[in-house]
Amino acid sequence: MTLLSLRDVRIHDGVGDRDVVHGISFELAPGAAVGIVGESGSGKTLTCRAVLGILPEHFTVAGGTVSLEGRDLAGLSANEWTALRGSTVAAVFQDPASYLNPSLKVGNQIAEVVRVKTGLGRRAAKDRALELLDSVRLPARVYGLYPHELSGGMLQRVLIATAIAADPRVLIADEATTALDVTVQAEILDLLADLRDRTGLALVVVSHDLAVVAQLCDEVLVLRAGETVEQGPVEQILYEPRHEYTRLLIAEHARYGLDRVLELEHVA
């Protein structure tokens, strides 16, 4: 079964009057993970935003199809998109603090998302928020803390908790671990892998860091300037890249520890 399918998706910038993404395709099954890598400006984030129905003003999906659970997303109304976001597809981005209200306790913010997205009453929403904290491996006491009292890794866990509050089938992680130090990054990746294994959550993992994708994904797309230069199983692309651009990306990332991850994956 395919949960998310992109077929030859083209994204157009109406102001610059140019295509910025030129025909991206991939399919995602439950519990699967696809990685999108490429240098800054290659179109990774816009591709994700097209799936979430939050393209910036002037940008449109000008060709191809995006479908979720077999439903073509072209022409959805604003209300239909709102209903879809969170309950079918959700996302976490870099800089989690900017998505939280600094003057409200994080538990109340999670509970509010639960209430809005699932229609539960206040009491039940609080219980569900506590459950969500537990499922992202945060202690219950975090419920009563304010965002400034949490570390970057804890804040990202809170954002993951809100993203999965309404049991989405697909989670998009767009540079979700980029700002975190290496140990915390590893913990978040481990958490995402665990959610995927436990709940069948499918992942779209956007990163400029090939090591992140090597660790989490089955398939990878390598983008350059809005074009897919290479696409296939992670082992094939990372061990036997055919395209010079992919080789360069790998060489560039070797010093960030990709070698170590690939060795570990081989041993495992």
Ligand X SMILES: Nc1ncnc2c1ncn2[C@@H]1O[C@H](COP(=O)(O)OP(=O)(O)OP(=O)(O)O)[C@@H](O)[C@H]1O
Interface ranges with ligand X (CB under 6 A) = 20, 38, 40-46, 56, 208
Going from the C-alpha of 17 to that of each of 49, 97, 192, 223, the distances in angstroms are: 19, 34, 38, 21
245 contacts: CB under 8 Å, gap ≥ 6: 222, 224, 229, 230
Q: Tell me the closest approach of the beta carbon of residue 20 to ligand X, in angstroms.
A: 4
Q: Tell me the closest approach of the beta carbon of residue 149 to ligand X, in angstroms.
A: 29
Q: Which is nearer to ligand X, 56 or 144 (CB)?
A: 56
Tokens found for residue 110: 């999670």
Laid out side by side, the sheet with 59-68 consists of: 18-28, 4-13, 59-68, 71-72
Q: Tell me the closest approach of the beta carbon of residue 33 to ligand X, in angstroms.
A: 18
Q: Tell me the closest approach of the beta carbon of residue 38 to ligand X, in angstroms.
A: 6
Q: Which is nearer to ligand X, 20 or 111 (CB)?
A: 20
Q: Which is nearer to ligand X, 54 or 251 (CB)?
A: 54
Tokens found for residue 18: 């140019």
Phi and psi at 145, nearest 5°, equal: -95, 155
Q: Which is nearer to ligand X, 128 or 208 (CB)?
A: 208
Q: Tell me the closest approach of the beta carbon of residue 41 to ligand X, in angstroms.
A: 4
Q: Tell me the closest approach of the beta carbon of residue 43 to ligand X, in angstroms.
A: 4
Q: How big is the chain, counted in residues?
A: 268
Q: Which is nearer to ligand X, 174 or 219 (CB)?
A: 174
Burial 28-44 (b: 16+ CB within 10 A, else e): beebbbbbbbbeeebbb
Q: Which DSSP string do the residues of 162-189 spell out, in sequence order?
A: HHTTT--SEEEEESTTTTS-HHHHHHHH
Q: Which is nearer to ligand X, 44 or 115 (CB)?
A: 44
123 contacts: CB under 8 Å, gap ≥ 6: none
Q: Tell me the closest approach of the beta carbon of residue 42 to ligand X, in angstroms.
A: 4
Q: Which is nearer to ligand X, 22 or 128 (CB)?
A: 22
Q: How far apart are CA 217 and CA 239, in angstroms?
A: 14
Q: How far apart are CA 143 and CA 110, in angstroms?
A: 9
